[in-house]
Every structure is written in structure tokens, then in C-alpha cells.
Amino acid sequence: MRPTPAHKDLGGGVEQLQRWLPRRDGGRTRALVVRRQRGGAPSAAVLWVHGGGYAVGSPEMSVGTARRLVDATGCVVVLPDYRLSVVEPYPAALHDCYDALVWLRDHAAGLGARDDQLVVGGESAGGGLTAATCLLARERGDVAVAFQVPLYPMIDDRPTPSSTGSTAPVWSSATNDAGWDAYLGPLCGSASVPATAAPARAEDLRGLPPVLTFVGDAEPFHDEVVAWTERLREAGVRVESRVYPGCFHAFDLMAPRARVSRVATAFLVEGFTRWCAELSAPQPR
């Protein structure tokens, strides 16, 4: 892969910057920043986490999604290049994402965004890290998240009917098992897997940020996502979700021109735009 330039003009008045964010272990996390070149009124500050089964991928994968959100709302999107499980298992990726969220809280104003409108989102494993980051923020109480956007999130290491025996395209039972094995490391298969590793294990969902999500019904994550959103609603968390019939994992990214993908993308952008106009969460002082 060619090095990403420190500054890139994405066209249409949108730019991509590269930043290095501090980590709790003294290292640094590379991150991309996507924003309007000439900022208007401050809008949401978004941490968007790429997918890849916790094992592969880079923030460059999600620049297209970030661009759509910037075009729609003028938000600022930060995409962290978190440590992958093949380099270091849980909790390395979670720590990198949470540290990036703290950095975004502290630098939102300088980026042209609002610190009272932090949003966390991502696809697949990035959706799982979204849910885990929001769980950790609730536990620690030092960062307020206005809402979260975990798209078809990878949140349950335990088998479900849809994740068992699946041979679906893109992500199957075999790749799912391998992904969890690598991410959980020595915790895999034990009874002590924490909710911040597999968020579907969280027993108490009260007080979490509102959730905007969608999933296909022909993919391994269908059952865990549907069960999680139902439990969130029961816990009093605002949820807007859609299930798209016949759709495999990451269908919106794999076949973006398909009609159902355009419908799902419109649902995401419309919901994100509307929630940016409605929701905020002042930071604890």
C-alpha cells in the first residue's frame, strides 16, 4: 500500500488530513480526518471505525462513508488505524478507539466540530468496537456520546442460529470463528469474555447512547444484531434499525449500486442527518 499523504483534496470542498493520536501505552495511532475545507457552523465530531473482523483493514476503507456524512452534515470524521488482532488481541483495538475518542473530545473545537455532539460509528468489527467504546464510555463517565452508528456490528462471540453453519458471501461461520479466535486470544471459548470485547454479553444496556443501525437477514450477524436492538429498546435506549431481506454481510459496501444498497445508504445518511439536528450530549466537566 502506498503511503497516505498528509493532506489530500477529496474534491467538492472536502479534505483528508492525517494525524497521529496519543495512546495510553505511549505509542501513537495513525488517524485520517475527513472534513470540509472551509468549515461552516460547527457540527458533529464523529469517530468512525473500519471493519475487517478485528483482524484486517485500514481507515482508508471507510473514507467513502465518511465523505457521505461530511457532505450531508458538515461533520468532522476521524478514522483511527487501530491495532489489529493479528498484531495484538483484545483490548488493544478497544483502547486505541477509546483513546481516539478522548482525543476527539479534547480537539473537537480545533477541528471545527462540537464537543457536545460526539458520535461513534463503524461497520462490522468497527460496529463492534463502536458498541464496546460506548459501553466503556458509560462505565468510565468521562466522555459523553450523543449517539452511535454500529452498522451490522460484530458483537457476539457465542453461536447463534444465523452464525452457525453459514456459508454466506463475504463473512461466513468459518471466518467469524477465526475472527473471534484472533481477537479474543486466550479469552476465546471461556466464560470470562467481557462485554467490552463482545458487547452482546452486556447484561445492563441502560443509559447507552441512541443506536442507528441496519443488517441483512442472510448474514451471520443477523440474529445477534436483532436480539441486541430488541434488548436496547427494552432498556429504554432509542433505536432506529432496519433489516434488509436477502442481504449478505457488508452488502452496501460490496454492491453499492444495487437498489437495496442505495436504500440502506439513504437510511443511514437520513437518520444520521436527522439525529445530528436533534441529539447532543454535553461533556462532563
The per-residue pLDDT for range 68-125, each reduced to its tens digit, is 999 999 999 999 999 999 999 999 999 999 999 999 999 999 999 999 999 999 999 9
C-alpha cell at 157: 462471540
Q: What percent of the chain has pLDDT over 90?
A: 94
What pLDDT shows up at residue 191?
Answer: 84
Tens digit of pLDDT for each residue in 174-200? 999 999 999 999 999 888 999 999 999
What pLDDT shows up at residue 189?
Answer: 83
Fold of 7-278: Rossmann fold (3.40.50)
Return the SS3 of 203: coil
Going by DSSP bridges, is the β-strand pair 28-36/211-216 parallel, antiparallel, or unpaired?
Answer: unpaired
Q: What percent of the chain has pLDDT over 70?
A: 99
Compute CA 272 distance to the chain's CA centroid, rounded to the nearest angstrom. Answer: 13
The CA distance from 278 to 99, in Å, is 26
Domain boundaries, the chain: 7-278
Q: What contacts 24+ positions apart, CB below 8 Å, involve 63-66?
A: 63/10, 63/16, 63/32, 63/34, 65/123, 66/32, 66/34
Helix locations, 74-156, DSSP H:
92-111, 125-140
What pLDDT shows up at residue 2?
Answer: 58
pLDDT above 80 for 215: yes
44 closest CA partner among 111, 94, 103: 111
pTM of the model: 0.97
Strand partners for 78? 33, 47
The CA distance from 213 to 149, in Å, is 6
Return the SS3 of 30: strand
